[in-house]
Every structure is written in structure tokens, then in C-alpha cells.
Amino acid sequence: MTLRCAFIGLGVMGYPMARHLQQNNFPTTVYNRTSEKACKWADAYQGNAASTPREAVQDADVVLICVGNDDDVRSVVYGDEGVLAGLKQGAIVIDHTTASAELARELAEALAKQGSRFLDAPVSGGQQGAENGVLTAMIGGDESALKDTDQVLAAYAKTREYMGPAGHGQLAKMVNQICIAGVVQGLSEGLQLARKVGLDADTLIKAISQGAAGSWQMQNRYKTMWEQHYEHGFAVDWMRKDLKIALAEGDRQGLSMPLTALVDQFYAEVQKMGGSRWDTSSLLARLERE
């Protein structure tokens, strides 16, 4: 049986993710707040565009959402023209938005009341990963729903890990963002010192990247950081949104996360420098702003 899909949200991630669905023979209807973008997508990939979330999901077996934050998710799910109003019984809803675990649990409950299943499945890998169909999805919710939709997720997520009940996908994504923040700050300080003392960046990274200091950030971002190019992926605004969610969860759990809080404030300084849309490696720009 061919699964029909609806994709809600055609940002830098959602646009190519929906394309992978259509190109992997999952007939897809899209909705985007800016209707022109949905029409452009439909023309480019021979899919369908809907004028409301309700209209988009009416025939869908699987509904995928990828928008900005908790409020954005609620705005497309609830209301007379929302997903819940048009969802057919038995359909599965998968939220790829990086949002709160509280929202995931709320949506799982709301969908269960309508006889539907829910997965929270935030992704990592950035725009490049979405374009190439090699994202990683951290998944919480109804495990049977994952088994029933794994073929759909495989269209753009190379790695799909089930983390536990509703909200656990979002909790895993929080850990991911916390770890990235610390790594990027350390790499930025290291590169700042390397430049100051006259080390050759390529030779340095060749020497240290295969040992304990190595990381994805080092391998993929050191050169652009060294050249002061910060237009290569996940934006500072989005990272601050994600770190706010992580810090709030830490507070809820009674945890102290001083490094995460500090790096979040460093990103706030980058925003004040005009770097809201720079990628997260721009922490080095903050160090070198003088």
C-alpha cells in the first residue's frame, strides 16, 4: 500500500524533506504559511499544494510537520483549519520541529483522543543533511507508529533512533544541541589561539582531528571559520531558540548547566553584532571582533 503524505512547513529543512518524499513515491501534499512557496514546490516536484493544514491532511496517511517553535506547531495543529480538524482516523502525525517535550506529550494525548498516533522526531544534520537526505531523527512516541512509518522517514533520515515515549525525541535533541554548543565554543577558542601564535590551520587540523580533539565541527567547519565565512548552515537565531528549550528543561529537572547558559549568552552577543543569520560556528567571530 502506497502511503500518502502531507508536509506542513517548507522552510530550509522542510522544502527538501518534502521533495525526498515525493521523489520516493510517497504522494505528497504540502502546506506553507507563504502559499507562493507551496505552489513553487508543487510545480517543481509534481506534488499538490493546499491552502490550509486541514485541506493538506484530509487524504494523508502520514502527516509531517516542520515549523519554527511550539507556538508555530500549535498554530497549524489546532483550530478550525488545523491538522486535527482535517485528519482522518488512524493517520499518524510526526513532528520534526525542534520543540519542547511538554508539547510532544500534549500532542500525543490530543491525537490519541482522535484515534491517531504521534511521534516527536526532531532532526539533526542541518540544511545540507536535508538536501542530501541523510538527516538523523531522534524519535519519541508510539513505537508501533515508527514501525509503520519507517519507510517514509527513511526517504530523508539516514539514521532513525527510537528514544522512548512521547517527548523523548525532543529530550534527545536538547542533549544534541547542548553538546554542539560546548564543542563549537572550544573549537573557536582553539582556532583563535592558533591564529594568534601563527599556526597553519590545515596542518594543525591534520595533526589533531584524528585524536580525542576531533569532531564533526572541526572537520566540517574549521576552514570556513578560519576564513571568517559564516553562511554555512544552522543559524544563531535557531540555536538560541533550541538552547532556551534545553535550559528550561534543565531548570525543570533542577539541573545546573553553566556552560550551556554561558554559550547561549555568547550567541546573544553574536546577534547584537548582526549575526542572527550566521551559522553557529560564528562564535569565533565574537572572539575576534576587535
Q: Where in the sequence numbering do the catalytic residues fall?
A: 173
Cα atoms in the 13 Å half-sphere on the side-chain side of 165: 5
- Say how far apart CA 209 and CA 36 lie, in whole Å: 44
Whose cell is 515549523? That residue is 67
Which is nearest to 108 in space by CA: 81, 157, 143?
Answer: 143
CA distances (Å), 210 to each of 207, 214, 228, 288, in order? Answer: 7, 6, 24, 26
| Cell numbers standing for residue 148 | 509503520
| Cell numbers standing for residue 284 | 569565533
CB 121 within 8 A of CB 139: yes
- Say how far apart CA 276 and CA 230 lie, in whole Å: 11
CB 270 within 8 A of CB 278: yes
Max CA pair span of the chain: 64
- Say how far apart CA 256 and CA 97 lie, in whole Å: 25
